[in-house]
């Protein structure tokens, strides 16, 4: 009897492992035989580069600048070595010089965000000078034949909004909509591409699960609620803006980072369970919500939600895909840290805690193609202070895009992250994502050698 039960259990285990391995393969290409120089892009393909206000502008007083001053319950500073964003790249004053740098790359699109805390320093005050500033920047871009792509929320919001509970509270969504409507009214005659919210999944998981981002909480159920509210906020903003003048003519999308979570041991059921649930929360729940209007989180003991919003269907004109890499998760028996990240031997690490994985961009494109809307790669790039991996990264990831195009995926554009080095959130200024290196003492920008690979493909 015991023998029979044992063989059923083992049989079941093997069946599940085989099923998971078949259903979620970790694609690996043989890069030694791939000719990454053989890439082709349609003539109308959108080439651009991207930044976000808090990371480049300087002097932002918002939820992040507050967080930068604090530390974790362990006493560790919130930001590596207690760094603060401060003047950043002084893009606020140097945007004309930066536009000339964009032009030199040969790209004709620029994705940037407006800083909500500067535009609306108090709940009932809109700063006309700040609104004029962004208008001048948009005009300067257009005069230089660069199409502006405007993000309304890129991780930061005013301190007063934070005090009201930010996106923890459903009631606050209306406040965000009013801000978006105001910005749209100002610029919609000149800006034809709009991104509502940048990476709701990152805001929810880093802010409320890992505690690496503000408000630094660790509450998985709240994290799921915040993600729901951010997604609802996107849907409501989309429909509100579509009703306004120019709304029907412009393109409005949501920007989502895809990061595949893989089991470290492909024969270990617990590694599969962990990676599967993290994927479910981080990637699949958002795609499902946009596809069906149903937001469902099912992680027993950690987060459990069912929510329906039929307006989510048809709430994007394009899918803004941010992609960097994947992560391998290894389960361990520790209530404090149930899993750890691992990096396969032989994979090339970037300066961020992940590896170069061009195949992943192809997989990400494939996974979001179920939404049947044009895909714009709104971010992709590498942190590489030594500049000895940038060229390889660019070639492999753009090869993946070219292959996806060849295979029929509807990709309209690609934005390199980032135009220049900038304040990389919890990692401070240590991460060097820029096509241009920034010397923060002199504010001098210098093109990196590795960036030439991007310029060659764009111009080629
Ligand atoms: C964010 C950027 C960030 C980049 C690199 C994305 O998640 O949108 O603000 O700098 O990743 O980490």
Residue of 88, 322, 351, 382 to test ligand 1 pocket, by largest number of atoms within 8 Å of CB: 322
Please tell me if the CB atom of residue 379 comes closer than 6 angstroms to any atom of ligand 1.
yes
Please tell me if the CB atom of residue 421 comes closer than 6 angstroms to any atom of ligand 1.
no
Go through the domains of the chain in sequence order and give each one's CATH number.
Answer: 2-459 (3.20.20.80)
Radius of gyration of the chain (CA): 22
Please say if the pLDDT value at position 336 is more than 90: no
For residue 256, the CA-to-ligand 1 centroid distance in Å is 11
| Ligand 1, atom 10: closest residue by C-alpha | 424
What is the average pLDDT value for the chain, to the nearest integer?
Answer: 97
Share of residues in the chain with pLDDT > 70 (%): 100
For residue range 287-317, list pLDDT tens digits in order: 999 999 999 999 999 999 999 999 999 999 9
Rounded Cα–Cα distance for residues 230 and 233 (Å) = 5
* N-terminal to C-terminal alpha carbon distance within the chain: 69
pLDDT band at 440 (very low <50, low <70, confident <90, very high): very high
Please say if the pLDDT value at position 41 is more than 90: yes
Please tell me if the CB atom of residue 422 comes closer than 6 angstroms to any atom of ligand 1.
no
Please say if the pLDDT value at position 46 is more than 90: yes
Q: What is the DSSP letter of 347?
A: P
Residue of 417, 423, 429, 433 to test ligand 1 pocket, by largest number of atoms within 8 Å of CB: 417
User: Residue 297: how many CB atoms within 10 A of its CB?
Assistant: 22
Whole-number pLDDT of residue 1:
82
CA distances from 78 to 19, 155, 219, 221, 428 (A): 41, 15, 17, 22, 10
- Reference 411, options 350, 323, 326; nearest CA is 323
DSSP 5-53: HHHHHHHHHHHHHHHHHHHS------TTT--TT-----TT-EEEEE--H
For residue range 119-165, list pLDDT tens digits in order: 999 999 999 999 999 999 999 999 999 999 999 999 999 999 999 99
Q: What is the DSSP letter of 291?
A: H
Q: Are 55 and 424 in contact (CB under 8 A)?
A: yes
For residue range 362-415, list pLDDT tens digits in order: 999 999 999 999 999 999 999 999 999 999 999 999 999 999 999 999 999 999
**Tokens linked to 407:** 């295979």
| Ligand 1, atom 3: closest residue by C-alpha | 424
Please tell me if the CB atom of residue 156 comes closer than 6 angstroms to any atom of ligand 1.
no
């Amino acid at each position: 009897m015991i023998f029979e039960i044992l063989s059923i259990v083992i049989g079941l285990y093997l069946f599940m492992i085989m099923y998971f391995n078949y259903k979620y393969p970790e694609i690996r290409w043989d890069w030694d035989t791939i000719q990454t120089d053989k890439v082709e892009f349609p003539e109308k393909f959108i080439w651009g580069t991207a930044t976000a206000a808090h990371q480049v502008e300087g002097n932002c007083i918002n939820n992040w600048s507050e967080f930068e001053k604090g530390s974790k319950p362990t006493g560790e500073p919130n930001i590596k070595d207690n760094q603060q964003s401060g003047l950043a790249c002084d893009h606020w004053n140097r945007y004309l010089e930066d536009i000339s740098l964009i032009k030199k790359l040969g790209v004709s699109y620029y994705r940037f965000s407006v800083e909500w805390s500067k535009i609306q320093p108090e709940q009932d005050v809109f700063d006309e000078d700040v609104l004029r500033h962004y208008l001048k920047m948009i005009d300067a871009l257009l005069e230089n034949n660069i199409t502006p792509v405007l993000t309304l929320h890129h991780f930061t919001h005013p301190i007063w909004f934070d005090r009201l509970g930010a996106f923890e509270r459903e009631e606050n969504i209306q406040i965000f909509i009013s801000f978006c409507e105001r910005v749209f009214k100002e610029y919609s005659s000149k800006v034809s591409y709009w991104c509502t919210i940048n990476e709701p999944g990152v805001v929810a998981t880093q802010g409320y699960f890992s505690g690496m981002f503000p408000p630094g909480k660790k509450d998985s159920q709240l994290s799921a609620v915040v993600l729901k509210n951010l997604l609802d906020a996107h849907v409501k903003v989309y429909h509100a803006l579509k009703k306004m003048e120019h709304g029907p003519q412009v393109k409005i999308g949501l920007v989502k980072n895809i990061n595949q979570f893989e089991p470290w041991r492909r024969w270990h059921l617990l590694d599969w369970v962990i990676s599967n649930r993290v994927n479910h929360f981080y990637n699949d729940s958002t795609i499902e919500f946009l596809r069906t209007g149903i937001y469902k989180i099912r992680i027993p003991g950690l987060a459990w939600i069912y929510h329906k919003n039929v307006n989510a269907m048809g709430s994007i004109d394009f899918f803004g895909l941010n992609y960097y890499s994947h992560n391998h998760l290894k389960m361990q028996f520790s209530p404090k840290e149930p899993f750890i990240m691992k990096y396969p031997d032989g994979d090339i690490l970037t300066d961020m805690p992940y590896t170069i994985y061009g195949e992943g961009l192809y997989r990400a494109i494939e996974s979001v193609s179920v939404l049947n809307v044009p895909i714009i790669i709104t971010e992709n790039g590498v942190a590489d202070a030594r500049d000895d991996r940038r060229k390889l990264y660019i070639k492999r990831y753009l090869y993946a895009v070219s292959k996806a195009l060849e295979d029929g995926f509807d990709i309209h554009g690609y934005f390199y992250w980032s135009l220049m080095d900038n304040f990389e959130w919890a990692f401070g200024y240590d991460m060097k994502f820029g096509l241009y290196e920034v010397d923060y003492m002199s504010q001098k920008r210098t093109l990196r050698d590795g960036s030439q690979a991007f310029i060659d493909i764009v111009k080629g």
